[in-house]
Structure 1
């Protein structure tokens, strides 16, 4: 059993869906403070979302931002060879959700001292809401990756060693209900945090106001996710989230603060610089698109080769030194890890306006594109100039927002994958060398873990049948067009 070391302590390590005698790690610390478990869960979540490791997160390749140089399996959608889905389950169910669940149970069972008694109910409510928000975020991530997933029976190995899968649309509706409850809890306000919890929260230091903004922003993300599958619920949810107050500047960003030294540096740095490997360069699809408009973000995204930005053809190998590679951000150990950012939320606001409030859509689109350019060191003047060549098109707003969100989400590839599947822009073509299981297309979901087929076979079969087949080409319930 893998021992999981956190920044502060040893974390909880349990297998999510495997019925084995080794599920309980005798070396793990189960009696600990919730803040350390929250720290661990936040770091593991950030590590997964931000890592370029071919063993767990290949979405920079799928979205054609990067291309592999030597070993091109993952660029051609062979994710089975490395059991990538197994690692995605482990990252999220074991490392994130189980630890958050343990933190919840500790808080729920805590007996406050006499000096804490007066304020404890409010503190308890706030901390449980913060933990639940992180769980909601993680479950949405899993639904958006696989479709139907273990949910009501998930992360409870003792009672459900082989959990059933829940319907993705039903999960989404419940996540919206949960985030509304969390927002109500945070809106009631509190001043102090549970002992050690504020330092344990590495995203916002336990600040309820920041978490309230995050929760409203996540509520908007959930709403936009089902805009085509449940437009009525989506519109009411998005409208309420925006009115309540979503992110309005980078000061609201949820970013994990990595440190300069191992083992706490950014996973990009770990895989690109510390490893001494030269596995990735810029993908031709994105580099050519940005070159066509002299995009001001190119110096942040990529290096130059002989003064030019050069991308490698998708699916093909090549020499590292002949193509642009990732910019300095990826080779800096303490670059923060993105969980949810103002730029991302600005594009959700733009999409919400395009769908339901068209009069304000052009301004929201301009704000989103400008936010991205400023995020990468550009100026408002450069943003204005860029927008003259990429104006908002009210007739084909999906193309406008889809293409610009794709460029903007360069360092948030999982988010980019959602925009692309929902809006169908940009037009991405699978390489001719892609595996046969991709059906000549860019994947629209990840297949379930091989481990699930082996140990939870009956529930895996039922889930696979319910979604229309456990395939890379099976569209999720919200991917309607």
Structure 2
């Protein structure tokens, strides 16, 4: 695994400067401060979670929100032709985790001047906690995507140029423990990264909400495989204080100018290509449930909303293009939203009786989605009258509504789908043979890992049951 460090400087826009491989270049030096590394890492993390670029993030296609207009390889799950897994690996390990790790090293090496001696210890703890929470988020994303991954040896290229793959179950346990420590180390009023932190601007109160909400997410994820740890983690998160309003959502605010505009805008408009329109299963579901959000999610075709059959190309003008939000430079990137957290709370109540009445929390989650997209509470209540909570099949209720609500958060939507087995998506008959006639439940390891870290790759592939699109990650038991 190549552990290049990428750094950036912040003037008015984000500008990145890249060395070819600082781990191999003895002349490489760093002339930066932690704040610029944090800014860059946050942007790269948001870019990956947000982009619809078929070379990096195809989960809008996998979750059948969108369909490709002309080149339909990715809609049919052929991710290897574009080396998608290599790019996912690099986005997260190289652009995010290694920059966070370098920021951590700089903070640990910093010698405070006399005027900082009293304030530095608490500020240092805050900074290291934020870095680690972002690292936990990223490692969870990688484990959820691939299964076993390099973890304990992942960010020390000098000592471990060919890192082992850790067991994903053990990784999750470690992430939960790390996050608990991070949350406890946060102290309001003691300084952070200031405006270098694009996500929260150094607001420790919001970072605490983020940390507890991420802890909730980790606990929910393991509900089927370790209910005892899941419940204790969920209770810890809720008692610590999760997000309670949209204003606390963890989003990255893009700018109008290049290169800092939304990666959705970059891929649907700035490249002057009409590559995507609505997928038939999703558009049909919105139409069948009379969902007002369809008007935000898509553009109409002569007054109606039309999606194309998954796996097939089509004339762009014949089907519903992505909504206007996709054509705006400043549409933010979602990392962890209040809507997402609201669905976790509904699931915790339905599964374990934790946190309140599941029907009430289900309604709250749906309402949060409507408000997020600019609709009113009454719009949500009208919708809920026709689409009530079904206690006898709560997985269907929550799974389908999370599918709708996570429309612009497709990586997370994929997690809901795999955990709850709803919506009942079907692979297209045109899908590649490697998909086994199913919607993928993981990505295959990068081809680069198989060639450069072959021994550890082979061990990991054997340990998870085969490096396949159909191999389930440890928490996907249904």
TM-score grouping bracket, smaller chain normalisation: over 0.9
Task: Quote the residue 2:126 is aligned against.
Answer: 126
8 A Cα contact 1:11 1:37, kept in partner? no
User: C-alpha separation between the residues in 2 aligned to 1:248 and 1:319?
Assistant: 43
User: C-alpha separation between the residues in 1 aligned to 2:178 and 2:5?
Assistant: 32
Which residues of 2 match residues 147-186 of structure 1 at below 5 A?
A: 147-186=147-186
1:105 aligns with 2:101: no
Task: Quote the residue 2:330 is aligned against.
Answer: 334
Which secondary structure state, in structure 2, belongs to the residue aligned with residue 378 of structure 1? coil
User: C-alpha separation between the residues in 2 aligned to 1:160 and 1:93?
Assistant: 14
8 A Cα contact 1:38 1:201, kept in partner? yes
Uncovered stretches (5+) of structure 2, i.e. residues with no partner: none
Closer, same or farther: CA 113–276 of 1 in aligned 2, 3 Å: same
User: C-alpha separation between the residues in 1 aligned to 2:473 and 2:327?
Assistant: 35
User: C-alpha separation between the residues in 1 aligned to 2:219 and 2:18?
Assistant: 32
User: C-alpha separation between the residues in 2 aligned to 1:14 and 1:414?
Assistant: 29
| 1:109-134 alpha-carbon deviations (Å, 9 max, x no partner) | 10001111101000000000000000
1:363 aligns with 2:364: no
1:351 aligns with 2:347: yes
Closer, same or farther: CA 313–406 of 1 in aligned 2, 3 Å: same
| 1:63-92 alpha-carbon deviations (Å, 9 max, x no partner) | 000000000000000000000000001000
Task: Quote the residue 2:188 is aligned against.
Answer: 189
8 A Cα contact 1:12 1:98, kept in partner? no
Task: Quote the residue 1:435 is aligned against.
Answer: 432
What displacement does 1:190 show?
A: 3.5
| 1:263-282 alpha-carbon deviations (Å, 9 max, x no partner) | 00000001111000000000
Uncovered stretches (5+) of structure 1, i.e. residues with no partner: 16-21
Task: Quote the residue 2:52 is aligned against.
Answer: 52
Task: Quote the residue 2:472 is aligned against.
Answer: 475
What displacement does 1:6 show?
A: 3.8
8 A Cα contact 1:297 1:377, kept in partner? no
Q: CA RMSD in A?
A: 1.6
8 A Cα contact 2:9 2:32, kept in partner? no
1:230 aligns with 2:226: yes
Task: Quote the residue 2:293 is aligned against.
Answer: 297
| 1:356-379 alpha-carbon deviations (Å, 9 max, x no partner) | 117611110000001001111211
Which residues of 2 match residues 249-398 of structure 1 at below 5 A?
A: 249-357=245-353, 360-398=357-395
| Matching residue within 407, 410, 413 for 2:407 | 410
8 A Cα contact 2:8 2:16, kept in partner? yes
What displacement does 1:10 show?
A: 3.9
* Runs of 4+ residues over 6 Å off in structure 1: none
What displacement does 1:239 show?
A: 1.2
Q: Which moved more, 1:352-361 or 1:329-338?
A: 352-361
8 A Cα contact 1:399 1:426, kept in partner? yes
User: C-alpha separation between the residues in 2 aligned to 1:11 and 1:421?
Assistant: 38
Task: Quote the residue 2:135 is aligned against.
Answer: 135
Give me the TM-score of the superposition, normalised by structure 2: 0.96
1:450 aligns with 2:434: no
Which secondary structure state, in structure 2, belongs to the residue aligned with residue 89 of structure 1? helix
8 A Cα contact 1:282 1:325, kept in partner? yes
